[in-house]
């Protein structure tokens, strides 16, 4: 049963209530290993579903275009203060609706259409908004892309520097969506300073690890930092932009009125709650446990014969190349989902297959760590992976159903925020 109970919703709209109940049960019964997903606390859920969703507060604290901000301003100020304290930055904007608009605000603050920008190519682990062709950022800007080496899957900093010197970009992006290794912010900063570019660090996937001391921080190296507030940070679906005081005005102007109208105050409150949780000592334990689980799972997957891009992981994320198993990422992901293991199919560097039918799968350990799983569980998870992929190839539905039952039996021992069995 969903917690809190959906009493009013069930009475008013049983169809929607039924679907939410079914989804909450699904989230409980599966190993949720999509690298961008997690479980939020009941406190974050309550803030997200509060009466703050009724309010409009266009503008910034003390400078709103609507009345009735006596309690909204302090909520946003609290979220800002907690973000600044947690990440050690001069300035924080907590209004972006999600990660992509946050990244668009960086472009609006520091570049004009047609300017050159440099980012990691999407097939190599970058993000759509770092200048990929199907994104507005690839259409509006002269996007130049760096890559990872074929030999080890690591970023080729010689290539980054050569491209930066040749192209003189206004913005250099570091970070992305499928990078399993530690990001070398000092090297990126050195290159950006050499060519006079703004260094933008997208830490959406690793923000919680940075907050918990399990990954180096870009603070002091990057001019501006963008992040979502869910994923490893375990907050609501929102975003933040962090920066030095020098760039505060440009960032705020780009967010509002540049790209957005009124912020989502219920999300701002939930961000404040999540940031408060991330400042607790227990969150540091959590962040390090996420990495410990990922490393243990990576080692166990290698033992099961899987090929990992870069050979392993330094963070929460693992990228598997299924080429040698003679199965595509999409059918493997669907078989795993049938077996109670949720992840996504994903391109791998230098993939020869199409993006909608790639060679890889991407997974993360943030959600299963929130549930309480530890490194001792990872060999069993890896065995389920291998058995499910093999069963999918053989179209052995009985085996997939058996694994799903075993996953449910395991997860019954690990409570989930927002759900309880009745």
What is the spatial distance between Cα 85 and Cα 83, in angstroms, rounded to a whole number?
A: 5
Q: Are strands 344-346 and 360-364 parallel, antiparallel or unpaired?
A: antiparallel
Q: Are 22 and 30 in contact (CB under 8 A)?
A: no
Is 303 a catalytic site residue?
Answer: no
Q: Are 84 and 240 in contact (CB under 8 A)?
A: no
SS3 for 212-230 is CCCCCCCCCCCCEEEEECC
The pLDDT value recorded for residue 57 is 97
What is the spatial distance between Cα 301 and Cα 305, in angstroms, rounded to a whole number?
A: 7
User: Could you give the percent of the chain with pLDDT greater than 70?
Assistant: 100
Helix, strand, or coil (residue 301)? helix
The pLDDT value recorded for residue 421 is 81
Residue 367 has pLDDT above 80, yes or no: yes
Place of tokens 């979220």: 79
The pLDDT value recorded for residue 11 is 97
Give me the phi and psi of 294, to 5 degrees please.
-65, -45
The pLDDT value recorded for residue 96 is 98
Helix, strand, or coil (residue 422)? coil
Angle separating helix axes 397-411 and 14-29, nearest 10 degrees: 90
Strand residue runs (E) in 263-336: 307-308, 317-321
Give me the phi and psi of 139, to 5 degrees please.
-85, -35
CA angle 258, 261, 265 (to 5 degrees): 130
The pLDDT value recorded for residue 328 is 96
- In the set 56, 60, 97, 350, the catalytic residue is 56
Helix, strand, or coil (residue 68)? coil
Tokens read off for 113: 């259409």
Digit-coded pLDDT (tens) for 38-96: 999 999 999 999 999 999 999 999 999 999 999 999 999 999 999 999 999 999 999 99
Contacts of 63 (CB under 8 A, 6+ apart): none
- In the set 29, 202, 351, 387, the catalytic residue is 202
255 DSSP assignment: I
Tokens read off for 117: 């920008």
What is the spatial distance between Cα 80 and Cα 96, in angstroms, rounded to a whole number?
A: 13
Strand residue runs (E) in 17-96: 31-32, 59-60, 63-64, 91-93
- In the set 228, 310, 365, 369, the catalytic residue is 228
By C-alpha distance, which of 374, 387, 365 is closest to 306?
Answer: 387
Strand residue runs (E) in 192-294: 198-202, 224-228, 239-243
What is the spatial distance between Cα 124 and Cα 120, in angstroms, rounded to a whole number?
A: 7
Tokens read off for 344: 């996504």
Digit-coded pLDDT (tens) for 311-340: 999 999 999 999 999 899 999 999 999 999
Mean pLDDT of 280-291: 98
Mean pLDDT of 366-386: 98
* Model confidence band, residue 409 (pLDDT cutoffs 50, 70, 90): very high
Is 122 a known ligand-binding residue?
yes
Is 130 a known ligand-binding residue?
no
* Model confidence band, residue 1 (pLDDT cutoffs 50, 70, 90): confident
What is the spatial distance between Cα 266 and Cα 75, in angstroms, rounded to a whole number?
A: 10
The pLDDT value recorded for residue 345 is 97
Is 56 a catalytic site residue?
Answer: yes
Is 126 a known ligand-binding residue?
yes
Tokens read off for 182: 């530690």
* Model confidence band, residue 370 (pLDDT cutoffs 50, 70, 90): very high
Q: From the centroid of its chain, how far is CA 354?
A: 23
421 DSSP assignment: -
Taken in order of first residue, the domains within the chain and their CATH numbers are 47-278 (3.40.640.10), 292-411 (3.90.1150.10)
Is 58 a catalytic site residue?
Answer: yes
Residue 3 has pLDDT above 90, yes or no: no
The pLDDT value recorded for residue 261 is 95
pTM exceeding 0.75? yes
Q: Are 121 and 163 in contact (CB under 8 A)?
A: no
Is 127 a known ligand-binding residue?
yes
* Model confidence band, residue 422 (pLDDT cutoffs 50, 70, 90): confident
The pLDDT value recorded for residue 384 is 98
Digit-coded pLDDT (tens) for 98-142: 999 999 999 999 999 999 999 999 999 999 999 999 999 999 999
Count of residues making up the chain: 422
Is 238 a known ligand-binding residue?
no
Q: Are strands 142-146 and 59-60 parallel, antiparallel or unpaired?
A: unpaired
Place of tokens 């930055």: 89
- In the set 64, 161, 168, 237, the catalytic residue is 237
Mean pLDDT of 230-255: 98
Is 228 a catalytic site residue?
Answer: yes
Instruction: Report the chain's mean pLDDT, rounded to a whole number.
Output: 97
Place of tokens 């990929």: 132
Q: Are 329 and 345 in contact (CB under 8 A)?
A: yes
Q: Are 329 and 20 in contact (CB under 8 A)?
A: no
């Amino acid at each position: 049963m969903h917690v809190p109970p959906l009493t009013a919703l069930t009475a008013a709209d049983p169809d929607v209530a039924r679907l939410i109940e079914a989804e909450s049960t699904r989230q409980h019964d599966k190993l949720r290993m999509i690298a961008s997903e997690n479980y939020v606390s009941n406190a974050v859920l309550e803030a997200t579903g509060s009466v703050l969703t009724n309010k409009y507060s266009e503008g910034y604290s003390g400078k709103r275009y609507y009345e009735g901000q006596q309690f909204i301003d302090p909520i946003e100020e609290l979220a800002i203060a907690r973000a600044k304290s947690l990440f050690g930055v001069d300035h924080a904007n907590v209004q972006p609706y999600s990660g992509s608009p946050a990244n668009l605000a960086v472009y609006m603050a520091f570049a004009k259409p047609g300017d050159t920008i440099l980012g990691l190519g999407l097939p190599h682990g970058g993000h759509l908004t770092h200048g990929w062709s199907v994104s507005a950022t690839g259409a509006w800007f002269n996007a130049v892309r760096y890559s990872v080496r074929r030999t080890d899957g690591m970023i080729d900093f010689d290539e980054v520097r050569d491209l930066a010197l040749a192209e003189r970009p206004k913005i250099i992006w570091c970070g992305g969506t499928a990078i399993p290794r530690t990001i070398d912010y000092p090297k990126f900063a050195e290159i950006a300073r050499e060519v006079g570019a703004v260094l933008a660090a997208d830490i959406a996937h690793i923000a919680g690890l940075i907050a918990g001391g399990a990954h180096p921080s870009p603070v002091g190296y990057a001019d501006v930092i963008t992040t979502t507030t869910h994923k490893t940070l375990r907050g609501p679906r929102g975003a933040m932009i962090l920066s030095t005081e020098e760039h505060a005005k440009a960032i705020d102007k780009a967010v509002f009125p540049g790209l957005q109208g009124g912020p989502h105050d219920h999300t701002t409150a939930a961000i404040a709650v999540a940031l408060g949780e991330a400042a607790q000592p227990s969150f540091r334990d959590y962040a390090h446990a996420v990495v410990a689980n990922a490393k243990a799972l990576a080692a166990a997957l290698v033992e099961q014969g899987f090929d990992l891009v870069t050979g392993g992981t330094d963070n929460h994320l693992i990228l598997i190349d299924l080429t040698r198993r003679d199965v595509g990422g999409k059918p493997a992901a669907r078989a795993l989902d049938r077996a109670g293991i949720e992840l996504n199919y994903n391109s791998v560097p230098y993939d020869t297959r199409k993006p909608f039918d790639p060679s890889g799968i991407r997974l993360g350990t943030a959600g299963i760590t929130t549930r309480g799983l530890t490194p001792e569980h990872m060999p069993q998870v890896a065995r389920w992976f291998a058995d499910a992929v093999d069963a999918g190839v053989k179209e052995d539905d009985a085996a997939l159903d058996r694994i799903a039952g075993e996953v449910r039996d395991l997860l019954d021992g690990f409570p989930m925020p927002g759900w309880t069995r009745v």
